[in-house]
Amino acid sequence: MLLSSTEQTLLVITSALIAHLVFNRWEPTNVPILTVLLIGIPCALTQAAFIDIGPIWRVVCTFALYHASLATSVLIYRLSPWHPLARYPGPRLLKTSKIWMIRLARRGGQWRYIRALHDVYGPVVRIGPNELSFCDASLVVPILGTQGLPKGSDWMGRAMHPQTPSLIALRDPVEHQRRRRTWNRAFRPAAVQEYLPLIRKRTAQLLDILAKCEDQDGVDLAKWIRYFKYDFMGDLVFGGGTEMMRDGDVDARLQQQRAGVAMMVVFAHMPWVAQLAKNLPAVSRKVTELRAMGRNRAADRCKAGSQGKDLFYYLANEDGSEKEAPSEDVVLSDGLLAIVAGSDTTSTVLTSAIYCLLTYPETYERLVEEVDNFYPPDEDWCSTKHHADMHYLTAVLNETLRLFPILRDGSLRAPWVGHGDCTVGPHFIPEGTQVRLHTYALHRDPRYFSRPDSFWPERWLVAAGAGGDAPAGFAHEPGAFIPFSRGPSDCAGKALALQDMRIVLCALLQRLAFAPPRGAPFDEWKAEMDGRFANSAAVFTVSVRVRRRD
């Protein structure tokens, strides 16, 4: 029996509403299922809908009405009081789709925007259809601690859902704990000391290069630190193979890495898109090239075997500590993680520290005085024996990490699928909801840190009772300081990162002196640097003048 025009329209709309119920309940990402829901159903409806018009217009009208009804239903539900996150405040636009946050992330300003949202809406903000951002120190342990939430799906999305995820993407706490044992051995204190020759070699090379720039003006210190960290991580992870400080980025590896990471940002916000994108070479090319680069270098290191106790020595179980050696896929996947995580992160912190020191000359002079006290010209700058007593150096690094944390947007977490809803503190978290403790907002919250946007290393000395009396209203909450995350999924290499940064800063300040370029008024140069660091998370330049102190 033929349906009336009204009935045909209602059939299409009802089918779209049923599809929405399927998406809402099961969130399918399987390509065949998505094809059925988004293409198959409207194709079938063309046999019963709009039969009074030509075949081409019948298809067009059916598809348009079906998808318009589906989109309208989704938008109404996400903005409705029946949505599980309806009680949480946030901009309406962000509640409807993650597209708006992707645009911000691509431009590099997501972390500033989310902090501004917390300033307006308070400690908890809904920043996506199913995502919450928290700025509350009391939730650090409930979210990140041993009994906290597992990883979210963003890291799997970044890597386009590989068969063998790297350590940072593992969501299963039991599997993460098993895989983490290898990394813990690789970064235990004794192992970190074994890496000192690698640090010494590359830091000495950096010092020589910068010393040769003495007669130049406007030396890009950030570029040389990036090259230094990439060469060092190449030595540490793969036993060598890169010479960027000598040859530059001749193979465009840093450009490739940067392009791949930028594309990963998109997939992190929409992990389900990564399921589709990995089948589209034109879309996934940058991420695929980055993963291939890391896997190829890891494969070469596997074939070459151990030349010493580098990071790969432990990742590949060459020390024989594990009863069962990890699969080749696990080793290759973790090797890529190490080179990306180790080079971009600490190079950014080191560059940020130099920027802060140069824009606050009195702080620079005080740190140089401490370095000269512990590392006079005849003292080995690579020795770590004085680090524990260099309280101002520790304060400078802590303050840099507070202002410019490595993961400014924090680590995404979510209730374990299949285990139901949960609560963190007083907040109800429905299953399927992504949550993050926003590190940048937390570190710059005036409730936890006085003068939150100022570079003030002395705050750490005052808090420790070694910097005089605390000023009136002084706020300092150590529990809100999470530059390396917290709990069982914190940064595995934080001990090496801190040792590396201490050694490099001591070496640079013992051997070299830095200043703004000639002819640049300090106020103008500082304003330019402030603008660069306020609008970028990783890629920037720091123009300086270098001279030898000896």
CA 234 – CA 254 distance, rounded (Å):
12
CA 503 – CA 213 distance, rounded (Å):
21
Write the pLDDT tens digit of every residue in 436-457.
999 999 999 999 999 999 999 9
CATH pick for 155-548 out of 3.40.605.10, 2.40.110.20, 1.10.630.10, 3.30.300.30: 1.10.630.10
DSSP letter at 457 equals T
At 148, the amino acid letter reads G
SS (H, E, C) 55-124: HHHHHHHHHHHHHHHHHHHHHHHHHCCCCCCCCCCCCHHHHHCCHHHHHHHHHCCHHHHHHHHHHHHCCE
In the predicted structure, residue 394 carries a pLDDT above the cut 60 = yes
Which of 161-165, 227-231, 267-271, 324-328 has maximum average pLDDT? 227-231
CA 201 – CA 204 distance, rounded (Å):
5
Tell me the average pLDDT across 201-206. 96
In the predicted structure, residue 537 carries a pLDDT above the cut 70 = no
CA 191 – CA 19 distance, rounded (Å):
54
Residue 391 confidence (pLDDT): 96
Residue in this structure with the two tokens 């896929």, named with its chain if needed? 329
In the predicted structure, residue 348 carries a pLDDT above the cut 60 = yes
Please give the angle made by the CA atoms of 166, 321 and 197, to the nearest 5 degrees: 80
CA 239 – CA 338 distance, rounded (Å):
13
Residue 126 confidence (pLDDT): 97
Query: What are the CA-CA distances from residue 286 to residues 158, 258, 283, 337, 417 (Å)?
Result: 11, 9, 8, 16, 30
Residue 539 confidence (pLDDT): 62
Rounded percentage of the chain residues whose pLDDT exceeds 70:
98
Residue 486 confidence (pLDDT): 92
In the predicted structure, residue 270 carries a pLDDT above the cut 90 = no
Among the listed residues 377, 362, 366, 350, the one whose alpha carbon sits nearest the alpha carbon of residue 502: 350
Tell me the average pLDDT across 75-101. 94
Going by pLDDT thresholds of 50, 70 and 90, the confidence category of residue 498 is: very high
Q: What is the b/e burial string over 79-100, where b = at least 16 CB atoms within 10 angstroms of the residue's CB?
A: eeeebebeebebeeebbbbbeb
- Strand 131-134 and strand 434-437: the pairing is parallel
Residue 343 vs residue 350, higher pLDDT: 350
Is residue 223 within 8 Å of 538, Cβ to Cβ?
A: no
In the predicted structure, residue 33 carries a pLDDT above the cut 70 = yes
Which of 14-28, 200-214, 402-416 has maximum average pLDDT? 200-214
**Which residues are annotated binding-site positions for heme?**
491
SS (H, E, C) 139-206: HHHHHHCCCCCCECCHHHHHCCCCCCCCHHHCCCHHHHHHHHHHHHHHCCHHHHHHCHHHHHHHHHHH
Tell me the average pLDDT across 267-296. 76
Is residue 521 within 8 Å of 396, Cβ to Cβ?
A: no
Residue 380 confidence (pLDDT): 95
In the predicted structure, residue 279 carries a pLDDT above the cut 90 = no
Residue 115 vs residue 302, higher pLDDT: 115
Candidate from 163-167, 202-206, 305-309 with smallest mean pLDDT = 305-309
Among the listed residues 297, 193, 196, the one whose alpha carbon sits nearest the alpha carbon of residue 238: 297
Is residue 105 within 8 Å of 265, Cβ to Cβ?
A: yes
Tell me the average pLDDT across 19-34. 86
Going by pLDDT thresholds of 50, 70 and 90, the confidence category of residue 261 is: confident
Q: CB under 8 Å to 316, separation ≥6 — which residues? A: 301, 302, 306, 325, 326, 331
In the predicted structure, residue 43 carries a pLDDT above the cut 80 = yes
In the predicted structure, residue 353 carries a pLDDT above the cut 90 = yes
Is residue 163 within 8 Å of 181, Cβ to Cβ?
A: no
In the predicted structure, residue 1 carries a pLDDT above the cut 60 = no
In the predicted structure, residue 64 carries a pLDDT above the cut 70 = yes
**Which residues are annotated binding-site positions?**
491
Q: What is the mean pLDDT of the chain?
A: 88
In the predicted structure, residue 79 carries a pLDDT above the cut 80 = yes
Residue 333 confidence (pLDDT): 82
Among the listed residues 87, 86, 92, 139, the one whose alpha carbon sits nearest the alpha carbon of residue 410: 139
Length of the chain equals: 550
φ, ψ at 390 (rounded to 5°)? -90, 80
DSSP letter at 130 equals T
Residue 538 confidence (pLDDT): 58
Residue 276 vs residue 94, higher pLDDT: 94
CA 100 to chain centre: 19
Going by pLDDT thresholds of 50, 70 and 90, the confidence category of residue 300 is: confident
Write the pLDDT tens digit of every residue in 120-156.
999 999 999 999 999 999 999 999 998 889 888 888 8
Is residue 118 within 8 Å of 132, Cβ to Cβ?
A: no
DSSP letter at 413 equals E
